[in-house]
Amino acid sequence: MSVLLIAEISGAYIALSATAKALSAVAPLGPVTILAAGDGVDPAPLAALDGVAKVLHVEGADYGHQMPESFSELILSIAPNFTHIVAPATAAAKAILPRVAALLDVMVITDVTKLESADTFERPIYAGNATQSVTSTDPIKVLTIRTAGFDDAPAAAAAPIEGVDPTTGSDLSNWVEDRVVKTDRPELTSAGVVVSGGRGVGSEENFAIIGALADTLNAAVGASRAAVDSGYAPNDMQVGQTGKVVAPDLYIACGVSGAIQHLAGMKDSKVIVAINCDAEAPIFQVADYGLVTDLFEAVPALTEQLK
Amino acid sequence: MKVLVPVKRVIDYNVKVKVKADQSSVDLANVKMSMNPFDEIAVEEALRLKEKCIATEVIAISIGVKKSEDVLRQALAMGADRAILIEAANDVHMDIEPLSVAKLLAKVVQAEEPGLILAGKQAIDNDMNATGQMLAALLGWGQATSASMLEITNGSAQVTREVDGGLQVVNVKLPAIVTCDLRLNEPRYASLPNIMKAKRKPLQAMTPSDYGVDVAPRLVINTTVEPPARAAGEILGSVDALVSKLKEVGVV
């Protein structure tokens, strides 16, 4: 058994927690080689994770932009040495790994939440309303790991770092620009506390009260699809079946009704608090603690008390 | 150019799913089925390209049970010109895997030579998010997934993609595959006259063997179970009560 883990890297930035969580998920399978492909990336933090046998480091602008055509070509060039090709289930990996799997003529298995064995995996289907256990009959397993349920792999003695040549690259697609929102708040999928707002928040301006509570708790800000569609919050804050999946210690849902698509993204949180003026809102069915009240009174009051 | 739009018949997104007693799959007998919502967005986007005279013909295709004809008729009623049905399963519980779907679609692409494929980014049943990418790989085409904006100019597609940190804009050479996210557009409803008209639009019925594609699954499904339910919580009377509870369980 030999595992190739694709580190989540955008430009020079390594999403270390996402990569470390995927690593702890797959480490029981055997020695893990990490592919660190980026643009100006320092792979040393990856080499210092427990369970890493080796880091392969490669540089290229297309890799930094996570362009699927060039990136899958790169993975293909080293794939024959591995039985498992895995990555944390990020937006980039979701674009790249199915492409890799098709080129290897194997079926990709996305959003794996549990590895039962080297060939048997659990994943949620139907927006998390069912869990399926599947056994792959393919010679190479290509997986994306839903990291929310795994702990970060701890630090260890540094593994060797080896340079790899980039492959030719592809001109099928070109990067134009990133429109990325800079934030000082913790990253949504790995934050210990998430405060999220729904349609009930009412406007982009009102979202400030969600942000204020989040800042008090050093939390990330999330949003329901309704809030994102209404323009109250940017798309990268969306929690749910098609957005981000989070499992923080504390999830505070403010003015979120709790459509099944939203619940799919947060129902594995350890403690869920719901604040909503509608006592019938489905969010209360998954909440540990509920406040049936006006969020515009309760949220600032909560912020004040927790300061 | 022709635009090809794959559409899937899935459980309606409002239906509460139940797992079959034998744990073989989710129970799809006698539940409301609809077009996968992301595929509806793809159909809509194709129709808008036709209205802008960029697309010349919109072809909807579905792979699955015979009843998938329903979602093809819906695509035709929305405005697609013709449809292809590849009957690949006779039991609604048999989900054709994305790799097999991609192989079949690749064959159809060879025959139809579309300039663009617009697909949903994922099906809301298996949530795999794979078919578009796999098809792009098999065809050696460029791909842009999770599109929230699409512009066709000079033989390429400029696509704004929803990614983890925000948005990414890429330019993909045509022919290409673009998979559609929620905010790309709002699909139209089919009017009654168009629903009637759709019944007479051409629908070609095919089978996987017509294309020489083996659709045998690579994944063996062991069990399908319902996730553990959360225990009922409690409704508290005040913010004070909430704060003391949160302190009690140690999360603040």
Each residue's pLDDT tens digit, A12-49: 999 999 999 999 999 999 999 999 999 999 999 999 99
Across the interface, do B170 and A180 touch by the CB < 8 Å criterion? no
A95 interface with B at CB cutoff 8 Å = yes
| Record: contact A241-B127, CB cut-off 8 A | yes
What pLDDT is recorded for position B12? 96
- Euclidean distance between CA atoms A162 and A33, whole angstroms: 10
Q: Does A134 touch chain B (CB under 8 A)?
A: yes
Which residue segment(s) compose the domain that B86 sits in? 2-248
Strand partners, B143: B177
Residues forming beta bridges with residue B234, ordered by sequence position: A289
Q: Tell me the nearest-neighbour CA distance from B124 into chain A, angstroms.
A: 6
Is A305 part of any known ligand binding site? no
Which of B126, B141, B170 lies nearest to residue A125, judging by beta carbons?
B126
Contact list, B130 vs chain A (CB under 8 Å):
98, 101, 108, 110
Summarize pLDDT for A162-217 with one digit per residue, the tens: 999 999 999 999 999 999 878 889 999 889 999 999 999 999 999 999 999 999 99
User: What is the total residue count of chain B?
Assistant: 252
Tens digit of pLDDT for each residue in B128-156?
999 999 999 999 999 999 999 999 998 99
- ipTM of the assembly? 0.95
- Mean pLDDT (chain A, rounded): 96
Q: Is A149's pLDDT higher than 90?
A: no
Which structure tokens are listed for B46?
Answer: 């194709």
Residue A147 at interface with chain B, using a CB cutoff of 8 Å: no
Contact residues on chain B for A108, CB-CB shorter than 8 A: 98-99, 128, 130, 134
Q: Is-cis flag, bond preceding A43, omega within 30?
A: no
pLDDT (0 to 100) of residue B154: 87
A267:B230 CB<8 A: yes
Contact A72, A103 (CB under 8 A): yes
Do residues A81 and A32 make contact, with C-beta atoms less than 8 angstroms apart? no
Q: Which residues of A touch B33 (CB under 8 A)?
A: none
Distances in whole angstroms, Cα of residue B71 to Cα of each of A41, A220, A282, B215, B228: 47, 40, 30, 21, 33
Q: With a CB-CB cutoff of 8 Å, which residues 17-46 of chain A face chain B?
A: none
Tell me the average pLDDT across A118-131. 96
Cα B99 from Cα B80, distance rounded (Å) = 25
Q: How far is A158 from chain B (nearest CA, A)?
A: 29
Phi/psi class of residue A93: alpha, beta or left (left: φ > 0; alpha: ψ in -120 to 50)?
alpha
Map out the domains of chain A with their CATH numbers: 3-163 (3.40.50.620), 188-306 (3.40.50.1220)
pLDDT of residue A82: 97
Residue of chain B whose Cα is closest to the Cα of A305: B243
Residue A133, pLDDT score: 98
pLDDT at A120 over 90: yes
Tens-binned pLDDT, residue by residue, of chain B (252 aa)? 999 999 999 999 999 999 999 999 999 999 999 999 999 999 999 999 999 999 999 999 999 999 999 999 999 999 999 999 999 999 999 999 999 999 999 999 999 999 999 999 999 999 999 999 999 999 999 999 999 999 999 899 999 999 998 999 999 999 999 999 999 999 999 999 999 999 999 999 999 999 999 999 999 999 999 998 888 799 999 999 999 999 999 999
Residues forming a β-bridge with A273: A252, A289
Q: Decide the pairing of beta strands A114-115 and A220-223.
A: unpaired
What average pLDDT does this structure show over A51-77? 98
**Measured distance CA(A33)–CA(A28) in Å, rounded:** 13
Q: What is the CATH number of the domain that holds B22?
A: 3.40.50.620
**A285 annotated as belonging to a binding site for a ligand:** no
Report how many domains make up chain B. 1
pLDDT at residue number A181: 79
Across the interface, whether the CB atoms of A177 and B169 are under 8 A apart is answered yes
* CA distance linking residue A33 with residue A27, whole number of Å: 10
Closest-CA residue of chain A to B159: A176
A250 to chain B, closest Cα gap in Å:
6
Q: How many CB atoms lie within 10 A of CB A191?
A: 23
Q: How high is the pLDDT of residue A237?
A: 96
b/e for A218-251, b at 16 or more Cβ within 10 A? ebbbbbbbbbbbbebbbbbbbbbbbbbbbbbebb
Residue A134 confidence (pLDDT) above 90:
yes
Which residues of chain A lie closer than 8 angstroms to B135, CB-CB? 102
Assign A131 a pLDDT band (cuts: 50, 70, 90): very high
**Residue type present at position B107:** K
- Among A residues 205-264, those touching chain B with beta carbons less than 8 Å apart: 217, 225, 228-229, 234-236, 241-242, 244, 249-250, 260-261
Q: Which residues of chain A lie closer than 8 angstroms to B116, CB-CB?
A: none
| A220-271 confidence digits (pLDDT tens) | 999 999 999 999 999 999 999 889 999 999 999 999 999 999 999 999 999 9
